[in-house]
Amino acid sequence: MDPKVRETIMADPAVLLDDKDIMRVLVGANERAMGPNIVDMRGIAMDRLEARLDRLEDTHRSVIAAAYDNVAGTAQIQRAVLRMLEPQRFETFLRDLGDDVKAILRIDSLHLIIESDHADGEDGIERLDSVLVMEPRGFVETYMRGYRGGPARNVVLRPLGYATVHGDDIRSEACLRLDLGEDVGMLVMGSQDERHFQPQHGTDLLAFLGAVTERALRRFLG
């Protein structure tokens, strides 16, 4: 061995012990030196512990990433809620929904749909160019069930591959059912990213956003 390398190792052996690749090579050389008829149980145990450590590190990174996303998502919803609570007039509320709130939530489409006996009876597909749209009774439940006829829920997240209220460029959407007393409404948000709203995503924050929207609307429509 080179004397300088030996002196370095003797002075600070932790340099080797902390390097997994070097230790793996040294353990492998030791196993080869023992011959094929000897089973190194300690080496096997160390391999298994190392594999478990790698899995734990991966899980740790995933948990931290999920926690960061959750904190960021919570802050995003909070900013949107504060913006929704500011307007004193319904017209301002609608304008803020289509501008500031949509920008805060980083979505590409946002519509507020309210059922009414005075709606024109059209299905609303591919014609919603304003934030507020009036639709006939039963539209919200039918739309939230979707083309597959799934169970009725207050929050629906899904990818899109069919005609919707957004248009052709939206690839995923979130539908929030709104209880407005005698009326039924829906806050529907769309994204061009097909992974933005997925059925496996959590819905607690969106349910909270829907509850705030309900209360804001009751104040204006009351």
The pair of three-digit structure tokens given for residue 124, joined into one six-digit string: 């609303």
CA-based nearest residue to 173, from 146, 148, 150 = 146
CA-based nearest residue to 146, from 124, 131, 162 = 162
Q: What pLDDT score was predicted for residue 34?
A: 64
CA-based nearest residue to 211, from 192, 173, 185, 182 = 185
Amino acid at 137: R
CA angle centred on 215, ends 222 and 181, rounded to 5°: 50
Residue 133: strand pairing partners: 113
Q: How far apart are CA 182 and CA 39, in angstroms?
A: 76
**pLDDT digit string (tens) for the chain, length 222 residues:** 788 888 887 888 777 777 777 777 777 776 666 666 655 666 667 777 778 888 888 887 777 766 767 777 888 999 999 999 998 899 899 999 999 999 999 999 999 999 988 765 444 433 445 889 888 998 998 888 875 655 567 899 999 866 577 877 889 999 999 998 888 999 999 999 988 999 888 888 999 999 999 999 988 886
CA angle centred on 41, ends 40 and 45, rounded to 5°: 120
Q: Tell whether domain 88-221 is in CATH 3.40.190.10.
A: no
Q: What pLDDT score was predicted for residue 9?
A: 78
Q: What pLDDT score was predicted for residue 123?
A: 44
Tell me which residue has tokens 């207050």.
Answer: 154
Give the start-to-end residue ranges of the domains of the chain.
88-221
The pair of three-digit structure tokens given for residue 53, joined into one six-digit string: 């450590």
CA-based nearest residue to 125, from 166, 161, 170, 172 = 166
What spatial distance separates the first Cα and last Cα of the chain, rounded to whole Å? Answer: 86
Q: What pLDDT score was predicted for residue 189?
A: 93
Q: What pLDDT score was predicted for residue 145?
A: 83
